[in-house]
Structure 1
């Protein structure tokens, strides 16, 4: 890609480590070949964002990521007029940059955004592949390399926080979950470099916590948190302390759940 292209800086130049769980790499590649918009659903920290980053690297395409939040407006996505010393000037938002110059635009945890801000993606997700900039009076025809990818955690959806059917049915979808035990163990060994036995112990703790979902916990220990704990252990932090810091304290303040996790940690590493 030409260094003069505005999305050149968004290239993923180093291969991110990603361990496939099935045929998702081939399926995403096929979706990108047709520039189909893709939706990835799965629990917190199960590898959704890492997968998108890996696919951008594998396809050799720039990746523009937007962390969605409840204060995000349509202008934050498409752009706005700004006032400076020379008068007013238009500044493209991340979605507009991706559509105009050709990048994968990844809207992470899209249900966190207000519904009135996400409807702007609709014209980009059907045969039109267009982005109207109403405030600027411009209609962008999406670049041939543009693709839209969104993700969210269906475990948190509610009547107030969910995608409209009119939005969902514009996407092909992947459903992710936490990796199988063997795969998750391999991820920790490869990602951090800890001994396989330690990785197996951490994964066993995570599996136990996930069984508590719906019994006092909204989510169990994620693969992301396991990587944090493994990193601390690799740097010399005692395993029990690393687990309390990275696996227990971030996910619950409930005394009964904490007691259960404390017991599991001590039984595993003492």
Structure 2
């Protein structure tokens, strides 16, 4: 068996047998909170495991973090399903919490042709032999990783039916590998994300979403995730692009909120008769726009130039014009600026 296949089988550090050692982390210090309680969270020692997500600037919503950490601590036989609009931070919430606890994550991006065998593993040809290459699910169950089934509501419900017993606590059986039985590691966690709540997409915004089996959904506790509020997104931008003036960051957040309002069709009592957008500016896209604005500083109409690359170059021309008109109204003279800085008399500080 080649070294590449051996490393894929191990799915862990240089010395797999010694890699994942338990460790405890203090809540306030780890997640930059100011709770009055001293709470220790179980994770793993930092061993440079390649499956541990990279830690990035992130502002945690306290309520969602509380629910997530409670699941991490004791799932009580449940899976965890995070539901919310595209780009609102469902996956990043789990990954950034795992990064701070040094907890390896196995990610399975779901598509319409996903089969159970893709998650479990398969035999591969290697120098004339056919060793079994464990899939993300098998590795997570065996080694105590977090499994993320990303966009679960796109999966064929009949394929997911093969996982019912696993969530009920039964060991994983690999018929493809001679009936190998993998006991469920006590630190294994099953997490899924989706744009719908599992009952189909009544909004019509997300193509490919399927109605999931009630028997499957009944095995999950659920966390509803939405876009961060203005204060949180401003804090994220302050961490990621501190060189952008506050006025610019505020205008970016205002535009993002307006685009989302038109995307979801939530008028909040205003703008009756407005055309609904078929795209949105997620937090991920907002950060991309801010970074590109700094990267292309000096370009003609730098904020428009960056927004095209971050979002509007992929939308219909009419919607692109509508978004840019909104941006011009919000940014004012700054929209045609060739610099990311603001005149001194425009700065709010």
Query: Alignment partner of 1:71: what SS?
Result: coil
The 5 A counterparts of 1:217-256 are 217-235=277-295, 236=297, 237=299, 238-250=302-314, 252-253=315-316, 255=318
Aligned position for 2:42: none
Q: Note if contact 1:41-1:153 (Cα within 8 Å) is conserved in structure 2.
A: yes
Which of the pair has more CA radius of gyration? 2
Q: RMSD of aligned C-alpha atoms?
A: 2.3
The 5 A counterparts of 1:1-270 are 3-5=14-16, 8-12=49-53, 14-35=54-75, 36-126=78-168, 128-136=169-177, 137-154=179-196, 157-158=200-201, 161-193=210-242, 194-213=244-263, 214=265, 215-235=275-295, 236=297, 237=299, 238-250=302-314, 252-253=315-316, 255=318, 257-267=319-329, 268=331, 269-270=335-336
TM-score, normalised with respect to structure 1? 0.89
Q: Note if contact 1:107-1:149 (Cα within 8 Å) is conserved in structure 2.
A: yes
Query: Alignment partner of 1:150: what SS?
Result: strand
Deviation at 1:23, TM superposition (A): 1.6
Alignment length (residue pairs): 266
Q: Note if contact 2:67-2:223 (Cα within 8 Å) is conserved in structure 1.
A: no
| Deviation per residue, 1:4-59 (Å, 9 max, x gap) | 228832123x5322212232222211111113421111111111121111121233
Higher relative contact order (CA 8 A, sep 6+): 1
TM-score, normalised with respect to structure 2? 0.70
Unaligned runs of 5+ in 1: none
For the structure 1 residues 202 and 155, does the alpha-carbon distance in structure 2 shift closer, same or farther, using more than 3 Å as the test? Answer: farther
For the structure 1 residues 58 and 129, does the alpha-carbon distance in structure 2 shift closer, same or farther, using more than 3 Å as the test? Answer: farther
Give the stretch that moved more between structures: 113-122 or 1-10.
Answer: 1-10
CA distance in structure 1 between the partners assigned to 2:174 and 2:132 by the alignment: 11
